[in-house]
Homo-oligomer: A and B are copies of this chain.
Amino acid sequence: MDTIDDFKRDMVSACRILSRKKLVEGFGHVSARIPDSERFLMTPRIGLALVKESDILTLNFKGEVVEGNRQVPSEAWLHTAIMKSKPRVHAITRIHARAANIFSVTERQLEPVHNHGSFFAGGVPVFRRPDLITTEQLGNEVAQALGDAPAILLRGNGQVTVGRTIPEAVMMAIYLEEAAEVLYGALQIGKPIPLTFDESKQRRIEALPPVDLERAWNFFKHQAESNKE
């Protein structure tokens, strides 16, 4: 079973991957639930490329820092509200992906057309208020708008993805941006052919068996660490 040190190590890997993929620059956060507790780990108010394991904070479900010396992010309530209300969620990324952001500032829905987009079948929800999520109430509203989806767009203000594990939340971030980029491109050259409900369902099953999730995670970790390819 994973220890807290394992989670912290994976969170730092997540930070490096999200930076390497340009899904964050100076801002954004990663959090991970401490299983069977009312606590979670969260990166502090520094750029993800710079986060070290020793910087990671522990918060409780009241949004209070219970361990760690670094400054708490202004959007701690976003993570707190999701962790508290959604036991299925064990990890959250708060990112600023470019193509997904573009969809959030138009009425165009982000609907999947390619295989890795199948997780977003039916369209990605959008939280229309452009504020930072700095209060308990705003946190709860985002959590509610997210529902059972793996991702939500915050209008003009980045995205949130969730997963049952840290790698899954990170892959949802990567696939969300991929889905946005492919749909964006398709809209430039013709009429996109969306995945049907059944196609999405089948592709979701195929697209993320544990072995392939681990495969993708290993690749992106390698890429981030070697700063190559």
Contacts and interface: CB of A to CB of B under 8 A. Distances in A.
Number of copies of this protein chain within its complex:
4
Contact of A215 (B27, B115, B190, B211): B27
A29 B223 CA distance: 17
Contact of A219 (B26, B98, B228): B26
Contacts of A88: none
A19 B184 contact: no
A218 B50 contact: yes
A174 to B, nearest CB: 8
Of A115, A182, A206, A224, most B-chain CB atoms within 10 Å: A115
A190 B203 CA distance: 28
A188 interface: yes
Interface stretch (A5-13, A76-84, A106-114, A140-148): A106-114
B186 A105 contact: yes
Contacts of A193: 105-107, 155-156
Interface stretch (A32-40, A41-49, A60-68): A41-49
Given A105-B186, A202-B131, A46 B113 contact: no
A25 B45 CA distance: 30
A183 B37 CA distance: 43
A87 interface: no
A189 interface: yes
16 contacts: A26-B212, A26-B215, A26-B216, A26-B218, A27-B215, A47-B215, A49-B223, A50-B218, A102-B182, A105-B114, A107-B193, A115-B156, A117-B156, A132-B206, A156-B195, A224-B229
Given A49-B223, A108-B190, 17 more contacts: A25-B220, A26-B216, A45-B212, A46-B218, A47-B215, A49-B228, A98-B181, A101-B114, A105-B113, A105-B114, A106-B189, A106-B193, A114-B156, A115-B130, A115-B157, A131-B206, A155-B193
